[in-house]
Amino acid sequence: MITVHGAADDGFGPVADAFRENFTEDIEVGAACAVYHRGRLVVDLYAGVADARTNRPWGPQTLAVVFSVGKGLMTLCAYLAHQRGLLDFDAPVVSVWPEFGANGKEQTTIRDLFSHRAGLAALDTDLTLDDLAEWTPVIRAIEEQKPLWQPGTDFAYHALTFGWLTGEVLRRVTGLSPHDLLAEYLTTPLGADAWIGLPAEDEPRVAFHLPRPEVDDPAYEQFVQLAMSMPAVIRALNLGGALPPTLIDGSDQDFNAPAVHALQIPAANAITSAASLARIYAAAVSSVDGRPPLLSAESVADATTLRSSGPGWPGALTRPGIRFGTGFMINGIPYLPLLSGSSFGHDGASGSLGFADADAEIGFGYVNNRFAGSEDGRASRLTAAVRRSLGQ
C-alpha cells in the first residue's frame, strides 16, 4: 500500500483519491500534485520513490524535470513582457531579431513562433551538446534555416526549437536569458522553485526519470515506429545528435544527466516542483499572497484563443485533437481535458502538467518520474478530480 504524504483540504478529497489511484492502478513510481484555489494552496501531495536506483523517497522538496511544461513557463513570461509593452505578438520576428529573416522567414510573426506555425520544427544543422550550452550556435542555425513550410500557413509541434525561437525573441526584448527571465518574472517574486538551467547545488533534489515500462502496447509501438520513420521528427527531437530522440536512454546526454539539467533548453528541461508549478499558474489568474493576478483579462482571452489545431503539417506526426493557443495548450484536447474555456497551460513528455483556469481561479501542478505509453491517464485522472471537487 502506497503512503501518500501531504494534505488535501475539505472538498478536494477527490484529488487525493485520484492521486492514490495513480499509484495503485497505474505505473506511478514517484509523483507530486498541488492545487491552488482562489490563491490558497488546497492540495499538496507527494508519494513514492524519487530515485529507484537508491530508493530515495519523494519528499516535499523533490524537484522533477517537466520537459515541455517549460513551454508554458516561457509563454507566461512572454505575456508579462507583452503587458509591459516590450513584446507585440503580431509583429514580424525581424522587428526584434533582424538576422532571423533569411531564407524566406522575413514575414514570420512572433505569434507564429509561439503557435508552432514557423516551419522550423527541425533544423538541417547538426548540433552538439556544447552548441546548446553556448546558445548562439543554435540561434545561427535557426537564422540560416529555410522553413519546412510557408510560415503561418500550417503547424507542427516545435518540440525543441520552440525554446530557442521564443527564448531569443524574449532575450532581445528583455535583455534576459531564459534562466534569468524566469527568475525575474516569476520565481523570485513568487518564492517558487523553477529553473531553466538548474544551479548545481539543487541537483541532489532532482528525481531520476525511468523509461516507460516494458509492456505490450501496440498503439504506442505503432506511434513510435511511425514517428521514427519521419526524418523531420527525428531531427526535431535530437537536433542532429545533441540529444537522444527518446529523451531518456541512459547516456550522459539524456534528460537525467546533470550536465543537461544545467543547460538552458527552454522547451524541454525546466525543473520544478508540483507546488511551485501550481503556485506560478495560480498567480497568473488569481491573487496569491495579496498580489494582483499576473495576467490581465485581455491576456487571458488572448492566451485561450485557438491558433493551431487539426491534422498539421504532413511531414510531422501531430497528435489527434491537439489545440494550441499562443504558446499554451488550451481546453478541448480529448486525451487531456482541463477545466473550461478559460484554462491554459502545458504538459510534458513524462505526463507532467501545469495549467491555470481563470474562471475557477485554479493553479494546478503535477510532476512525476516515470514515462508512460499511449494510455497515460494519470494527469487526466487528476484534472477530472479537480472538476469533481469544484462541482463541475
The pLDDT, as a whole number, for residue 26 is 76
Quick one: pLDDT at residue 227? 67
The per-residue pLDDT string of the chain (392 residues; one tens digit each, 9 = 90 and over) reads: 799 999 999 999 999 999 999 999 878 999 999 999 999 999 999 999 999 999 999 999 999 999 999 999 999 999 999 999 999 999 999 999 999 999 999 999 999 999 999 999 999 999 999 999 999 999 999 999 999 999 999 999 999 999 999 999 999 999 999 999 999 999 999 999 999 999 999 999 999 999 988 766 676 677 667 666 777 888 999 999 999 988 999 999 999 999 999 999 999 999 999 999 999 999 999 999 999 999 999 999 999 999 999 999 999 988 899 999 999 999 999 999 999 999 999 999 999 999 999 999 999 999 999 999 767 899 999 999 999 999 98
Q: What integer pLDDT is reported at residue 1 of this predicted model?
A: 78
Distance CA(17)–CA(21), nearest Å, equals 6
What is the pLDDT, as a whole number, of residue 215? 65
**Contact of 160 with 267, CB cutoff 8 Å:** yes
Helix (H, G, I), strand (E, B) or coil at 73: helix
Name the nearest CA neighbour of 32 among 60, 65, 69: 60
Length in residues, the chain? 392
Helix (H/G/I), strand (E/B), else coil: 384: helix
Residue 332: all three cell numbers together = 478541448
Please state the domain extents for the chain: 4-389
The CATH code for residues 4-389 is 3.40.710.10
Q: Which helix (H) or strand (E) holds 100?
A: none
Choose the catalytic residue: 68, 299, 343, 380.
68
Report which DSSP code applies to 56: E
Alpha-carbon span 180 to 239, nearest angstrom: 24
Identify whether the C-beta of residue 178 lies closer than 8 Å to the C-beta of residue 76. Answer: no
pLDDT at res. 220? 66
For the question of residue 68 being annotated catalytic, the response is yes
Q: What pLDDT does 232 receive?
A: 86
Nearest to 384 by CA among 33, 38, 24: 33
Q: How far is CA 385 from CA 13, 35, 381, 382, in A?
A: 8, 11, 6, 5
